[in-house]
């Protein structure tokens, strides 16, 4: 009887054993997350320059989960709000960083180490609200390490949130990396050692020339509207004075190369990704795309050449990274803080801006404040922020004059709606009643400001239109031209391929948390992009 039982159960045991043997082993959790934010990187740059990419952008485009419909889903598409979203998984309405002016500057006790120059503004994350991926990882393992680097202070600070640690950015006064006294009182030896190499000064007397033959660039070179009418053709020369060259490095492609070299030096020195028992983070914000875009525009030959150079810089960076760390234990994510729209005066051959207007509402604003004064309301009770948001600074001034603030502001909105180039002007209380699944503009403004806050009126221009004086190319609108950005994940636990469907940058942090096996510490606006995970 025992023998018969054995014969009956043996096949089932063999089947179970075979099934267990055939199950794929779980992907090990990453020891390093590299989060790259390319400042002002439009998503279409990958497709537009596809055939000429051979380096890091090529690798990431081909081997990542690339979401073709990725967006910064908030209205004021500027650097500070965009960076506050990347690793927090929350919209600016919840991070508290609603515009550049409400970012990291103008704060106490945050002087820049080693600088007394007024151009090096004090900077810290004290206005940032809530937590980020760094906090979630450290809650799971207090040994977690991180490094955040950028040319811009807000690009280095805001992805990390309020955590104190290794956060560094380029100082414009002397062309070196530093940090503020929010984080530490002196620079570590490895940072001083890197600065001693004087990376910006070695470009003195050199020039930015085309990477490829001129025939490889369909964009015209001689466009007087670029760079405010100065130095708008190749080559772009650098001063022979070494300090001047270092101070101007932020305007040239090699600033990104310097930032990536600094990131690798810090990774090695801090041992990021060097332990099998924790997940570390390297956050890199590359800012030259923004500098080139503001000078020459997204449809310029300069932008074309810079993206090709960025591709090569990232190729060298990835090669070096994977020599230092196990490729199978590294996850890379890449996005942008915002997109970009061409200058209205330059009728683009690439982007549909031919109906773009240059808009001023100064007369309507002046008349509105005069009406307030006539009604007994202090005209300083309201302010116009970023030319698009009316903020009630002194609600008591309206109450004292027995004037309803929203009714008075609506009268201004009626005047604004008649201005050519204005698409809409909405009270925030009205936006809250809209169907935000179909009204993209309403949704993005509500992701910026709460209905019960001080911001009362949101003004939206027509697509590709600019606020006056429109003297240089820029961004900042709720339209897709400024909001459409790359969203990609690369790594051993990532399911590679092009992925259709609307996703947001706020979805990136919860997805990385899922890959790292940690839980967020608060309610998020984003959700896990499971289609990116094996």
Residue 197 φ then ψ, to 5°: -75, -10
Cα 445 to Cα 37, 72, 424, 451: the distances in Å are 23, 12, 12, 10
Could you give the CA distance from residue 292 to residue 96 in angstroms, rounded to a whole number?
28
What b/e string do you get for 320-350 counting C-beta neighbours within 10 Å, with b at 16 or more?
Answer: bbeeebeeebbbbbbbbbbbbbbbbebebee
The pLDDT assigned to 25 comes to: 52
Residue 34 has pLDDT above 90, yes or no: yes
Could you give the CA distance from residue 390 to residue 406 in angstroms, rounded to a whole number?
10
Average pLDDT over residues 334-351: 96
The pLDDT assigned to 13 comes to: 39
Beta bridge partners of 358: 466
The pLDDT assigned to 518 comes to: 98
What digits encode the pLDDT tens for the residues 518-527? 999 999 999 9
Bin 398: left if φ > 0, else alpha if -120 < ψ < 50, else beta. Answer: alpha
The pLDDT assigned to 116 comes to: 84
What digits encode the pLDDT tens for the residues 448-499? 999 999 999 999 999 999 999 999 999 999 999 999 999 999 999 999 999 9
The pLDDT assigned to 119 comes to: 87
The pLDDT assigned to 172 comes to: 86
The SS3 call for residue 271 is coil
Domain 358-462 adopts which CATH fold? Answer: Gyrase A; domain 2 (3.30.1360)
Q: How confident is the model at residue 434 (pLDDT cuts 50, 70, 90)?
A: confident
Could you give the CA distance from residue 401 to residue 392 in angstroms, rounded to a whole number?
14
* 318 within 8 A of 182, measured Cβ to Cβ: no
CA atoms within 13 A on the CB side of 76: 28
Average pLDDT over residues 334-362: 96
Looking at every residue in the chain, the average pLDDT score rounds to 94
Q: How confident is the model at residue 532 (pLDDT cuts 50, 70, 90)?
A: very high
Domain 32-189+249-349+480-532 adopts which CATH fold? Answer: Alkaline Phosphatase, subunit A (3.40.720)
* Burial class of residue 237, CB neighbours in 10 A (0-12, 13-18, 19+): exposed
CA atoms within 13 A on the CB side of 406: 11
Provide CATH 3.30.1360.150 ranges for the chain.
358-462
The pLDDT assigned to 188 comes to: 98
* 292 within 8 A of 303, measured Cβ to Cβ: yes
Residue 81 has pLDDT above 80, yes or no: yes
What digits encode the pLDDT tens for the residues 130-174? 999 999 999 999 999 999 999 999 999 999 999 999 999 999 888
Provide CATH 3.40.720.10 ranges for the chain.
32-189+249-349+480-532
The pLDDT assigned to 14 comes to: 37
């Amino acid at each position: 009887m025992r023998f018969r039982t054995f014969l009956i159960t043996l096949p089932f045991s063999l089947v179970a054993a075979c099934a267990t043997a055939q199950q794929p082993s779980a992907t090990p959790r990453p020891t390093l997350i590299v989060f790259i934010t390319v400042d002002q990187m439009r998503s279409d740059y990958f497709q537009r320059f596809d055939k000429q990419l051979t380096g890091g952008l090529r690798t990431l485009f081909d081997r990542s989960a690339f979401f073709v419909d990725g967006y910064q889903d908030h209205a004021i598409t500027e650097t500070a709000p965009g960076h506050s979203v990347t690793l927090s998984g929350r919209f600016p309405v919840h991070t508290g960083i609603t515009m550049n002016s409400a970012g990291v500057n103008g704060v106490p006790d945050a002087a820049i180490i080693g600088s007394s120059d007024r151009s090096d503004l004090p900077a810290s994350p004290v206005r940032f609200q809530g937590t980020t991926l760094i906090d979630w990882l450290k809650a799971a393992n207090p040994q977690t390490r991180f490094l955040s680097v950028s040319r811009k202070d807000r690009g280095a600070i805001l992805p990390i949130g309020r955590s104190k640690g290794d956060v560094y950015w380029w100082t414009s006064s002397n062309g070196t990396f530093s940090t503020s006294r929010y984080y530490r009182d002196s620079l570590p030896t490895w940072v001083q050692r890197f600065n001693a190499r004087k990376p910006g000064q070695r470009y003195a007397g050199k020039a930015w020339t085309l990477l490829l033959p001129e025939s490889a660039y369909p964009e015209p070179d001689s466009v007087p509207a670029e760079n405010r009418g100065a130095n708008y053709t190749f080559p772009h020369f650098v001063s022979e004075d070494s300090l001047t060259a270092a101070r101007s490095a932020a305007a040239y492609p090699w600033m990104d190369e310097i930032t990536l070299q600094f990131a690798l030096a810090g990774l090695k020195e801090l041992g990021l990704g060097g332990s099998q028992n924790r997940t570390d983070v390297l956050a890199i914000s590359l800012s030259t795309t923004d500098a080139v875009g503001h000078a020459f525009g997204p449809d310029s030959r300069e932008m074309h050449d810079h993206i090709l150079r960025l591709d090569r810089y990232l190729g060298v960076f990835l090669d070096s990274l994977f020599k230092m760390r196990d490729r199978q234990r590294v996850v890379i994510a890449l996005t942008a803080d915002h997109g970009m729209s061409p200058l209205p005066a330059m009728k683009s051959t690439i982007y549909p801006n031919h109906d773009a207007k240059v808009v001023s509402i100064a007369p309507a604003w002046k008349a509105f404040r005069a009406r307030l004064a006539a009604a007994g309301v202090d005209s300083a009770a309201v302010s116009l922020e970023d030319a698009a948001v009316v903020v009630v600074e002194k609600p008591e001034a309206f109450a004292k004059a027995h004037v309803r603030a929203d009714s008075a502001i609506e009268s201004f909105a009626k005047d604004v709606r008649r201005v050519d180039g204005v698409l809409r002007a909405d009270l925030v209380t009205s936006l809250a009643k809209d169907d935000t699944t179909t009204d993209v503009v309403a949704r993005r403004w509500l992701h910026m400001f709460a209905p019960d806050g001080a911001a009362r009126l949101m003004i939206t221009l027509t697509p590709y239109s600019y606020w006056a004086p429109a003297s240089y190319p820029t961004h900042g609108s709720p339209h897709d031209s400024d909001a459409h950005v790359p969203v990609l994940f690369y790594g051993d636990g990532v399911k590679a391929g092009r992925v259709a469907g609307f996703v947001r940058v706020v979805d990136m942090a919860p997805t990385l948390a899922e890959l790292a096996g940690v839980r967020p510490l608060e309610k998020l606006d984003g959700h896990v992009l499971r289609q990116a995970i094996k």
